[in-house]
Structure 1
């Protein structure tokens, strides 16, 4: 009898708990970057603990319809004096009590359920259910219905967040009768405008990058004057940025009858090369009656203790300062070979299953931070297509790629057939897999064709061919990356049996082939291998135990695909870095008249546009002045003298 009584008491208490909390407001589609999404929970009584509750988000359509795609635990959260708690993006104001990443919530048609349980009860792709369901909402930003999901969640209506044709500026809100309406968002406030009004506090600070040794003010302002002295603390610590990295007062005191307080922070200028860091301004615990209108404000601290490397950037290249670290005899197997035998023997070296190591895509991030390091600043990587450095710290970690760098597959993932083929979790240089020429999955994490790149430009590059009507880089850049791209594509076409490089433009959906071979062969000449490229070849070799032979010997490409195809290859045919031609070209930029100096014998000047087309040629002897009549733009000036050649970029205005 006692057991039965305990059971019914337990069931009754569970029922009471379930009726205590509901989904009160939901905003799944916010302007532009989806950085102000949130979901608000309301309890019937204030200060209600949400321990044991979980939010589960479900797909409404597509192949994964009715399956979960995201969960948020509510453990540790307690509703406020109005019975509300908000979880959402950091830019929601007032700031949510629990933060999730931007763009985590889908626009719909989808659904969300509030359950008793934990995230472990709902692994990815769990089918929607009413078991332990407390409340649910099926939503969209259009009129497409998720009928099956409605049935599974036991709801009879689906709410359109765009019902008022206001785009992404409104939210879905519960009315007092339990139905829904769509209007301007009210996170952290009762939907009908009633309830306790809190005094909001705003942090004001200039978020521009700060140099070590600089000082800057931080101001805290309340919406209304405080009626008694308000005291609280804030922190700046984040990751490697600690109390040792700054000085200043982190206790806020707003005197009674006023509404503002300013403190000054000074960044310590140490002598340690610790790299750029991020400080994060974050509120401590606020007294009752106050809320955060913003929080978690990041500011970059630029380390002035960086180191440099003894060679130039791709934009201002140097030659011959970095030499190949290939072991003696590494390329002996290709000596004297030609045609298919040459290509096969080369593959036998760079795809040797007993030597070559495959790494994960996650490892590539760490590899690029060294391989693509800006020679002028050890805290930065060099972004290939846009020809500029960016802080290593700015690696893309959210769905937004603006201002970030990421990993660019030169042979696009979809074109290579290795999309998402390896793990994004790094496991280090000592964890690797055996690989071979048929292991196309290894191409997903092969650093010889992956470069650090500006996020938006990576998106713009997409999966196009190169050259002709394909991808030719951002307007206004000098094309310092084109030879690098060519040599990476040549490597991939030899390393993997499933890949090739061909003439002409192909449909972007083509798998296993990439063009345009003719353009790439030209780029291989007009943008010669430099020290930056050789240095990355050397470093990647320490991880993968293979090299890009077209960096070590760029003219190998001509013996496989180009003007010397079918002829036997010998290493003596390669041009040693020390034998490269040196010349000066000025002024640069020019209006069409410039001088070439440093050449003491007879020579030829050739001018190529960025498509690799020759637009000017003239013979000369010694220092000479040239008048060229070409359209304004970026060109490649190639000088040939005494069986040697070199190329420089020139801008014609």
Structure 2
């Protein structure tokens, strides 16, 4: 009798090649919820991986709250290490402007760099106290004049150019960092919101949809920060900084640098 030939189902070529050579499908094929994998997922983040929403936020708070703390005066020397210019070990890279400036020019005069609280210290009234006031995950070197323009303004799009600000913009109630720092700012703000939840004697810091929040323990705009996190993914500089803080100073991490997709998973 003649042999009957069965038609076999063929997997799509892309899937076959991916199986054969062990490739990972592109992010677009995996969808927007695809997760980043880090070497810390089975250790540091093991109690957070797989969670979303309030459960993820609570788990991350517990994880990152275990940290060493430094004094505000010690921040000067720490920033010379965390923000060192990778191309010039005598300099630091300044937030907002992107300028490389001599480590020795730290101070309060025009032309110096000083310690910028990205979560403005008046938003929750924590000042320079050990804890939120000295947390390196949101303290960055910045040009004195540019830092003064930012002041305690919330973050939002729009405004006029900041002199010496590298493309940063400002108006009466908000500040927009240059494009290369937008994601950094977003991830620093959201780290603070997870780390400081009111349970250790400090204010419960939260992002919201407002600007001009004043001294309330809020910073906006959340929707804009989320957009910045998407538009400006973590850079090698930001990732190295996170590692130095973890290894040398606070021994905790900014989870949104390791897992930027967790921003949308929580908010």
Tell me which interval the TM-score lies in, with the shorter structure as reference length: 0.7 to 0.9
CA RMSD between the two structures: 2.1
Equivalences for residues 326-365 of structure 1 within 5 A: 326=40, 328-352=42-66, 356-365=67-76
Unaligned runs of 5+ in 1: 1-322, 423-441, 562-653
Q: Secondary structure at 2:122's aligned position in 1? A: helix
Secondary structure class of the residue paired with 1:418: coil
**In 2, are the aligned partners of 1:461 and 1:471 still within 8 Å (CA)?**
no
Output aligned runs, 1:563-582, within 5 Å. none
- Aligned counterparts, 1:292-441, within 5 A: 326=40, 328-352=42-66, 356-396=67-107, 400-422=108-130
Shift of 1:337: 1.8
For residue 333 of structure 1, report the CA deviation from its aligned partner. 0.4
Match of 2:189 among 466, 485, 489: 489
CA gap of 1:471–1:464, structure 2 versus 1, over 3 A, is farther
Pairwise CA distance, 1:366: 1.2
SS in 1 for 2:89: coil
1:325 & 1:471 partners in 2: Cα distance? 42
CA contact (8 A) 2:97 2:167 kept: no
**Cα deviation digits, residues 12-51 of structure 1 (max 9, x gap):** xxxxxxxxxxxxxxxxxxxxxxxxxxxxxxxxxxxxxxxx
**2:222 matches 1:517:** yes
Deviation of the 1:387 alpha carbon: 1.2
Paired residues of 1:405 and 1:455 also in contact (CA < 8 A): yes
1:476 to 167, 174, 192: 167
Specify which of 118, 127, 133 is matched with residue 444 of structure 1: 133
Aligned to 2:133, what secondary structure does the other structure show? Answer: helix
Q: Deviations over 1:299-344 (max 9, x none)?
A: xxxxxxxxxxxxxxxxxxxxxxxx9774841111012222211110
Q: CA deviation at 1:515?
A: 0.3
Structure 2 equivalent of residue 526 of structure 1: 231
Q: 1:481 to 1:472 in 2, by over 3 A?
A: farther
Deviation of the 1:416 alpha carbon: 3.1
Q: Distance in 1 between matches of 2:139 and 2:93?
A: 13
CA contact (8 A) 1:500 1:513 kept: yes
| Larger helix fraction of residues | 2
Query: What aligned pairs does 1:564-643 form with structure 2 within 5 A after superposition?
Result: none
Per the normalisation by structure 1, the TM-score is 0.31
Give a deviation string over 1:459-518, Cα, whole Å, max 9, x none.
1100000014689863635421111000000100000011011113233x2321110101
Distance of 1:380 and 1:324 partners within structure 2: 30
Q: Point out the structure with max Rg over C-alpha.
A: 1
Seen in structure 2, the aligned counterparts of structure 1 residues 471 and 374 have a Cα distance that, compared at 3 Å, is: farther
Match of 2:251 in 1: 545
8 A contact 1:403–1:454 mirrored in 2: yes
Partners of 2:166 and 2:98 lie apart in 1 by 11
* 1:504 and 2:210 are equivalent in the alignment: yes
Q: Cα gap change, 1:409/1:472 in structure 2, threshold over 3 Å: closer, same or farther?
A: farther
CA separation in 2, counterparts of 1:464 and 1:369?
25
List aligned pairs for 1:72-471, cutoff 5 A.
Answer: 326=40, 328-352=42-66, 356-396=67-107, 400-422=108-130, 442-468=131-157
SS at match of 2:193: helix
Q: Secondary structure at the match of 1:448?
A: coil
Q: Which residue does the alignment assign to 1:218? A: none
Is the alpha carbon distance of 1:485 and 1:392 closer, same or farther for their aligned partners in structure 2, counting shifts above 3 Å?
Answer: same
Matches of 1:326 and 1:334, distance apart in 2:
11
**Which of structures 1 and 2 has the larger relative contact order (alpha carbons within 8 angstroms, sep 6+)?**
2
The separation in 2 between residues aligned to 1:368 and 1:335, in whole angstroms, is 30
- TM-score, structure 2 length as denominator? 0.75
Aligned residues: 213
Secondary structure (helix, strand or coil) at the match of 2:179 reads: coil
Question: Structure 2: how far apart are the matches of 1:326 and 1:539?
Answer: 15
Structure 1 CA distance for aligned equivalents of residues 221 and 101 of structure 2:
30
State how far apart, in whole Å, the 1-side matches of 2:78 and 2:246 are. Answer: 11
- Distance verdict in 2 for CA 1:449–1:472, change over 3 Å: farther
Q: Name the CA distance, whole Å, in 2 between partners of 1:331 and 1:357.
A: 18
